[in-house]
């Protein structure tokens, strides 16, 4: 039997022109890394690829693509924010004679546009379709689109090929245990790509992946890790012995299950991203974010999570039709009242495939701007009550206020006063520990900024009195510093960004309800 022909395969995640501050890019630099983590898609696809392919993974955020090599086939994952670069790479490799395959959310929902720059699109989940695409490629019978109406069972998954990733350039790895979302928020793609029925991996399969991973720091990329409380409790019990540190995304109702919260803390959870999305009830109704309605007591829920020594990354979106500029101040006041230092604030965007995109397109309210701007900190729509420049200026002012060191100190004093953040996290090597200690000392002690010095003094006092674990305290200081640096750099480019916004489409144009009648 003859040996199968070998092929050189490049799997590429294109660089993103604009990086938003929640990506922790500045914190990654402090750790001596290029990026905090990379998307899970490419290592997962590599695990599905037959053995007769020599695979190279390139995430342009951590390394350059070698221009002196010509692959036989190229797989490129796409987001709206990376679509222009994906098109550029697709055109380049096709001109060299390589076969180019696009996947990811953008190509899934913008197939016609994508096929102008690639030979085929793998839409939605890759399993099954990716293998069929490669089989057809080898047979010379490549189809334009690989798409199915159903979803795979997703009870198990091959371990992602982290051996193909330069782990010296990233800090943590992504992991996924479920797919699907029963909710159908207008601005979200999860249920559109993975369906509304939840599917879960066998816990033994998840445990084996964690054990094989090249890091003890993880981020669960599931849209809602704890929506199935029974599964979540069993998962926590299984990973407690693994001694890992991790973050995840959950709904606020995780606070309604004290047993689960305690298990999460024991299993190494140090951070939960919670999508509050809006404090405006009409905006929640508008976006069909019904799970955040019903008279939820945010104060009690937030306090319960904090009491387990778990941080909350509070995520908000401004720009719904019922929003005004006052929403920014409401969010600032809310996070101050409830001691939430980590705030992910975004402007409403409309990624292709979402109901928000369909609505704004039908109403002629998609701003004619580069898709690369759709990262959450640039206006990309005609908003109902705010012009593009008004919402951008207020956004910039608000994130500067949110991460002002005096604001952070006030939140820290209230947040850490209960002594809950005493549980030690994961270990880091002595060289990295020395590096981070020096950065902390230089930035918070050798500084003329009184806000920094006061914050440092408060954290050190709590560490010395054993009211806070040292890694939790210093990690907090470094994370806040990273956010502050990123926002400060964004502010330096303020005038350039304002000119760019004012030059787009019709500039500071404001929609009114009468315009849509």
pLDDT average per 10 residues of sequence, the chain (517 residues): 85 95 94 94 97 97 91 97 96 97 96 98 96 97 94 94 95 95 85 89 98 96 96 98 96 96 97 95 75 70 97 97 96 98 97 92 90 91 93 97 97 94 85 93 95 96 93 95 96 92 65 51
Q: Report d(CA 475, CA 342) in Å as an integer.
A: 12
177 contacts 164 by C-beta, under 8 angstroms: no
Q: Is residue 177 part of a domain?
A: no
CB contact set of 490 (below 8 Å; sequence gap of 6+): 21, 377, 396, 399, 497
Q: Is residue 357 part of a domain?
A: no
Return left, alpha or beta for 180; rule: phi > 0 is left, psi -120 to 50 is alpha, else beta. left
Q: Is residue 336 part of a domain?
A: no
Q: Is residue 17 part of a domain?
A: yes
Return left, alpha or beta for 154; rule: phi > 0 is left, psi -120 to 50 is alpha, else beta. left
Instruction: Return the beta strands (E) in 187-336 as ranges.
Output: 199-200, 217-220, 245-250, 269-277, 311-318
Q: Is residue 283 part of a domain?
A: no
Ordered DSSP codes for 12-75: EE---SS--GGG-HHHHHHTT-SBS---SHHHHHHHHS-TTEEEEEEETTTSPPPTT---SEEE
Residue 507 has a pLDDT of 47
Torsions phi, psi of 77, nearest 5? Answer: -85, 140
Q: Report d(CA 264, CA 308) in Å as an integer.
A: 9
Residue 517 has a pLDDT of 46
Residue 508 has a pLDDT of 47
Residue 8 has a pLDDT of 98
In three-state secondary structure terms, 1 is: coil
Residue 512 has a pLDDT of 54
Q: How many structural domains comprise the chain?
A: 1
Residue 189 has a pLDDT of 85
**pTM for this prediction:** 0.93
Residue 511 has a pLDDT of 55
pLDDT digits (tens, 9 = 90+) for 193-245: 888 899 999 999 999 999 999 999 999 999 999 999 999 999 999 999 999 99
What is the CATH classification number for the domain harbouring 108? 3.40.50
Domain extent, residue 19, equals 7-146
Q: Is residue 477 part of a domain?
A: no
Q: Is residue 328 part of a domain?
A: no
250 contacts 222 by C-beta, under 8 angstroms: no
Q: What is the CA radius of gyration of the chain?
A: 23
In b/e form, how buried is each residue of 174-207, taking b as 16+ CB within 10 angstroms? bbbbbbbbebebbbbbbbbbbbeebebbebeebb
pLDDT digits (tens, 9 = 90+) for 104-149: 999 999 999 999 999 999 999 999 999 999 999 999 999 999 998 8
223 contacts 181 by C-beta, under 8 angstroms: yes
From residue 81, how far is each of 117, 178, 370 by CA, in Å? 16, 25, 9
């Amino acid at each position: 039997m003859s040996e199968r022909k070998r092929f050189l395969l490049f799997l590429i995640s294109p660089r993103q022109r604009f990086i938003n501050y929640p990506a922790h890019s500045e914190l990654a630099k402090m750790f001596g890394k290029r990026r905090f983590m990379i998307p899970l898609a490419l290592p997962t696809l590599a695990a599905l690829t037959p053995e007769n392919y020599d695979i190279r993974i390139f995430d342009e955020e951590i390394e350059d693509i070698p221009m002196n090599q010509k692959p036989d086939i190229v797989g490129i994952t796409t987001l709206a924010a990376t679509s222009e670069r994906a098109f550029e790479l697709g055109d380049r490799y096709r001109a060299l004679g390589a076969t180019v395959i696009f996947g990811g959310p953008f190509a899934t929902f913008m197939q016609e546009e994508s096929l102008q720059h690639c030979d085929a699109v793998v839409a939605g989940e890759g399993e099954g379709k990716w293998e069929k695409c490669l089989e057809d490629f080898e047979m010379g019978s490549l189809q334009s689109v690989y798409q199915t109406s159903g979803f795979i069972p997703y009870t198990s998954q091959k371990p992602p090929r982290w051996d193909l990733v330069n782990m010296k350039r990233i800090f943590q790895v992504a992991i996924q245990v479920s797919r699907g979302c029963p909710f159908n928020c207008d601005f979200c793609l999860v249920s559109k790509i993975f369906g509304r029925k939840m599917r879960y991996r066998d816990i033994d399969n998840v445990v084996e992946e964690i054990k094989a991973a090249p890091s003890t720091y993880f981020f669960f990329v599931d849209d809602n890790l704890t929506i199935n409380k029974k599964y979540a409790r069993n998962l926590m019990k299984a990973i407690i012995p693994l001694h890992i540190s991790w973050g995840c995304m959950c709904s606020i109702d995780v606070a309604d299950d004290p047993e689960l919260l305690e298990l999460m803390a024991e299993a190494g959870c140090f951070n939960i991203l919670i999508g509050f999305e809006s404090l405006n009830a009409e905006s929640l109704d508008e976006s069909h974010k019904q799970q955040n309605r019903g008279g939820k007591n945010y104060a009690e829920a937030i306090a319960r999570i904090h009491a387990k020594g778990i941080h909350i990354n509070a995520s908000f979106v401004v720009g719904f039709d019922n929003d005004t500029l006052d929403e920014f101040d409401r969010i600032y006041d809310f996070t101050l009242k409830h001691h939430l230092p980590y705030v992910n604030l975004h402007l409403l965007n409309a990624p292709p495939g979402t109901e928000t995109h369909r609505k704004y397109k039908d109403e002629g309210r998609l701003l004619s701007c580069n898709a690369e701007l759709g990262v959450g900190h640039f206006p990309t729509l005609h908003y109902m009550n705010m012009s593009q420049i008004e919402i951008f200026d207020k956004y910039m002012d608000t994130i500067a206020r949110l991460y002002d060191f005096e604001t952070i100190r006030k939140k820290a004093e209230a947040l850490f006063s209960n002594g809950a953040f005493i549980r030690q996290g994961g270990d880091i090597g002595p060289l990295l520990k020395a590096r981070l200690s020096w950065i902390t000392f230089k930035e918070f002690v050798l500084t003329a900024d009184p806000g920094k010095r006061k914050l440092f003094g408060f954290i050190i006092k709590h560490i010395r009195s054993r009211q806070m674990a040292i890694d939790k305290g210093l990690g907090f200081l470094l994370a806040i510093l990273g956010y502050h640096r990123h926002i400060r750099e964004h502010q330096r480019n303020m005038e350039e960004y304002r000119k760019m916004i004012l030059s787009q489409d019709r500039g500071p144009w404001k929609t009114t309800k009468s315009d849509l009648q």
